[in-house]
Structure 1
């Protein structure tokens, strides 16, 4: 009972809803490229554009979604977004033209960039300041639980039925969650105590981009995401070039990544509550860099496994703290706006695969050394942000 009472019921609802909706998303989104190739016979270029557009829209849409959340309220944005999202997955299952698929995936990216700042801001509204670091750790754990379950469900359902069925199931799950939230929002008053200031979006842009602390954090986040994106883009190619049965090894590393997160998130999360956010970020980025250095010199599967364990420990230390630091510097009336602006760090995820691919072609033997250096360079921006925060 003490564990349950640690957070407000609305926080537990959103955390469990994160698992539920992320399972739904992971059932389909990781397999979009295969679906486009097999069902719509899309070219590699069109597949790349389709997948990239969601990340690009999420980068821009996060700020707008955060602003609208502060302006119109968490409830309105969450409910509107979740039902539009449901319709998007119905569209995925029914359209037969790649160009329409690109449009739908753009809306998918916008929905995520609206939904996440709104749900995070809602949880913050109902969480004491001293408990917020653990909140972000729990949320990160919830995402990783879904990352283990969702793809397995997607593979199983696709193997048992038509390739379109997972999209319809995902759409249904989002709609069910939306209906559930309607009843929960009637039970609990989710109006924040600190009402957002009435500002135009241009005024809000001026406020956000005059906050040097936030700009430093975004710069650091872009560099971290640029490097982290190699996990999905260049690492499978690099392993395939250097290891026999590389595809099998990479699938083992993906599973290992999720298992390590689930096993160590709670103990590391509790430890990070006893140290400063900056120290946690330093630990995380040092582990990230160490993991990449091991990848760079690995020529046996066990070295890649060791590198992945170290890399994942860095992920556990760093990722929850990146959002916690954004939340900590945000004014009480602009929490969602700042969390939305933090989506600009996704720009690194958009640039990273292109830059990493170029390095893989021309400087493959130094690829992960370069990335380790970029990881370490991100600490300069985090340190600058931290020093400005301390002097305020």
Structure 2
């Protein structure tokens, strides 16, 4: 383990540490945006859900473009340009007044994340030996949750549910991150296969993914899983803040956010060790089921301690899903199309569009006092991802068996 950690280059550590502080800055404000819009701006839950969901909607379509561009032009250019625009977006959030401005800014937020994230993950894959990639992907995932563990508490102290001021702090943090990346990139030369004859064209990338039907089926399953997971930062925050079941719902939600992140840090290593005994896809499948059970539990939780217990369960499902997703993509992606496949995985973010909109619509229809019905329906949507992913696994196993048999015949 120590040897693997030492094998990570300086640029890899830059991305991991930068991810920690960037997510801390983002989680000071973004998780409270739905509450701010409903409480301070007086918009409906469905409209607030739409504002939250537009980021994922734009990200769904731009993630593939960002990943493909990183294959074609290099990770450095895509990452630096996207983070520069991101800084401007956070400054815009701090001064936005009208709901239309929040729509536009959150759409741009989705574009920046969709360009930066697959490019950075592909770069981590470029920098790391295959046997070390699960470790570096999980270090990145751990950094995300370490940041999220601290960010909501800071945001609550700064009044994130009533103010957009914390976005200025996020802009400052992202500026420092951009400066660190720029300095590190000066001593890094990209070894890209896409500089001459093997340059990846957009139409070629689309053609490859269109033919990879198993990957597309896996995406559909992940969309449903993500639709369930997205409730944690959209519908759940509104439900806690407005349901008469809970006193101090905003504080309860911030505590659940922190518990979620801390739980990730505590269970990530043991759960991924167990997950390594099976395939990455099996871990994602089990995580989908556990997440759906957690959603159901939120509907029936009637006290803070019940909420905390369900959050731990929900988080275990999250870890099983997301700690292995990057490894699954890395294993099936051709070497020269890593950015394209990581970018295409952004289509799973369509669940982040469906989820907030569906959750907000159900809150509008049933009201805040019928959490049992609302979260049972949302859990059912999430659970639908399991049978689709199971079919993908069975087909992959069949293909591997056929390939092994063919190799024996030609041996």
2:289 to 282, 286, 289: 286
Q: How many residues align?
A: 389
Question: 2:403 aligns to what?
Answer: none
Aligned-partner Cα distance in 2 for 1:194–1:123: 17
**Deviations along 1:245-272, whole A, 9 cap, x unmatched?**
2615444333322221121112222332
1:329–1:389 Cα contact (<8 Å) kept: no
Aligned-partner Cα distance in 2 for 1:297–1:152: 26
2:389 to 374, 382, 391: 382
**Deviations along 1:52-77, whole A, 9 cap, x unmatched?**
32221111111111111111100110
Aligned-partner Cα distance in 1 for 2:135–2:281: 16
Alignment of 1:99-248 (within 5 A): 99-157=100-158, 165-192=165-192, 197-236=198-237, 241=243, 243-245=245-247, 247=249, 248=251
What is the CA-CA distance between 1:189 and the residue it aligns to? 2.2
Secondary structure at the counterpart of residue 275 of structure 1:
coil
Moved more, 43-52 or 6-15: 43-52
2:79–2:120 Cα contact (<8 Å) kept: yes
Question: 1:311 aligns to what?
Answer: 314
Moved more, 72-81 or 188-197: 188-197
1:261 to 238, 242, 264: 264
* Cα pair distance change 1:173/1:365, threshold 3 Å: closer
1:42–1:98 Cα contact (<8 Å) kept: no
* Cα pair distance change 1:28/1:241, threshold 3 Å: closer
Moved more, 201-210 or 189-198: 189-198
Indicate whether 1:322 and 2:325 are aligned.
Answer: yes
Structure 2: segments with no counterpart, 5+ residues: 401-411
* Cα pair distance change 1:297/1:199, threshold 3 Å: same
Question: 2:94 aligns to what?
Answer: 93
**Deviations along 1:181-214, whole A, 9 cap, x unmatched?**
1221122223346769434323322221221121
* Cα pair distance change 1:316/1:260, threshold 3 Å: same
Question: 1:56 aligns to what?
Answer: 57
2:4–2:132 Cα contact (<8 Å) kept: no
* Cα pair distance change 1:231/1:335, threshold 3 Å: same
**Deviations along 1:125-182, whole A, 9 cap, x unmatched?**
01121222222222111111111222333344459xx956533332222222222212
What is the CA-CA distance between 1:241 and the residue it aligns to? 3.9
2:24–2:150 Cα contact (<8 Å) kept: yes
Alignment of 1:4-43 (within 5 A): 4-33=5-34, 41=41, 43=43
Moved more, 127-136 or 93-102: 93-102
Moved more, 339-348 or 263-272: 263-272
2:122–2:338 Cα contact (<8 Å) kept: yes
* Cα pair distance change 1:379/1:37, threshold 3 Å: closer
* Cα pair distance change 1:335/1:38, threshold 3 Å: same
* Cα pair distance change 1:95/1:251, threshold 3 Å: closer
* Cα pair distance change 1:214/1:98, threshold 3 Å: same
Question: 1:345 aligns to what?
Answer: 348
What is the CA-CA distance between 1:42 and the residue it aligns to? 6.7
Structure 1: segments with no counterpart, 5+ residues: none
**Deviations along 1:25-64, whole A, 9 cap, x unmatched?**
223323445666788x574476554433222111111111
